[in-house]
Amino acid sequence: MPINIIQTHHVPHGHSAFNGTYDHLFWEVELVDSATDGADFQDRLLHNNIWQVGIAGQGIKRLTYKQGSDPVLDHLVNVPGQQQQEFVRLAKGEHDEYVRTRWYRDVEYYVNSPDIRTISTIYRDQAGFEMGIHLDNSHVMLQAVINLSDNETGTELYEIGSTEPTYAMTGQRNRGIMFFNGPGTLHGIRNVNKDRHILYYGLMYGGGNN
């Protein structure tokens, strides 16, 4: 498959005042796709006319790929959606004891529900971009961040009440993380000192961006 699971992390951490027990549930992943091979792919990311200012609330330092600008990058954006059912079954099936606290229906409901949708795009984070430690909106179910270039910094996961990360994503090209959105998956990004190119994937219930 285009996105492979390398390692699963399910780490119990403790208690939250608002959510009871909470865990980190995340996966190290690897992008394995012909569209990511060779210098030609890297060159495409450097074209300035394929980018627009990112979504509201993320500032002018985050640029978003303009769908339709490049056939190879268009293909790449569509890769995660091909594995939507696989990712639902991965989380709900193998980790149901934890996931059921938020995904209360059986796995086939989430596999077949028309309300479950995939959002995927490419981001170019410019020097100076950062996102403070935060938890995403509850309609976000799973999300993945995968390096499309060799980046110097990556998404970090935090315990509640901590200012130091418990896990820092690698900066290696074609590697990244996918994480279950729950009370234990606080995350942020800092120390972006040069352009950072990532493939973002979000599995969402209903509408809206995170």
Whether the pLDDT of residue 37 is over 70: the answer is: no
Whether the pLDDT of residue 210 is over 60: the answer is: no
- 3-class SS of residue 19: coil
Whether the pLDDT of residue 24 is over 70: the answer is: yes
Considering only 64-73, 117-126, 160-169, 186-195, which range has the smallest mean pLDDT? 160-169
pLDDT value for 205: 87
pLDDT value for 100: 77
User: Confidence class of residue 53 from pLDDT cuts 50, 70 and 90?
Assistant: confident
Whether the pLDDT of residue 186 is over 50: the answer is: yes
Q: Has residue 97 been placed in a domain?
A: yes
Q: Has residue 19 been placed in a domain?
A: yes
- Report whether 190 contacts 160 (CB < 8 A): no
CA–CA gap between residue 160 and residue 105 (Å, rounded): 27
CATH number, domain with residue 20:
2.60.120.620
User: Confidence class of residue 19 from pLDDT cuts 50, 70 and 90?
Assistant: low
Whether the pLDDT of residue 59 is over 90: the answer is: no
Average pLDDT, the chain: 84
- 3-class SS of residue 22: strand
How many independent structural domains does the chain possess? 1
Q: Has residue 184 been placed in a domain?
A: yes
Q: Has residue 210 been placed in a domain?
A: no
Which H or E run includes 73? helix 71-78
- Report whether 191 contacts 152 (CB < 8 A): yes
Q: What is the mean pLDDT of residues 141-170?
A: 88
pLDDT tens column, 102-139? 788 889 999 999 999 889 999 999 988 888 888 888 88
What range defines the domain where residue 137 resides?
3-205
Would you give the DSSP letter of residue 177?
E
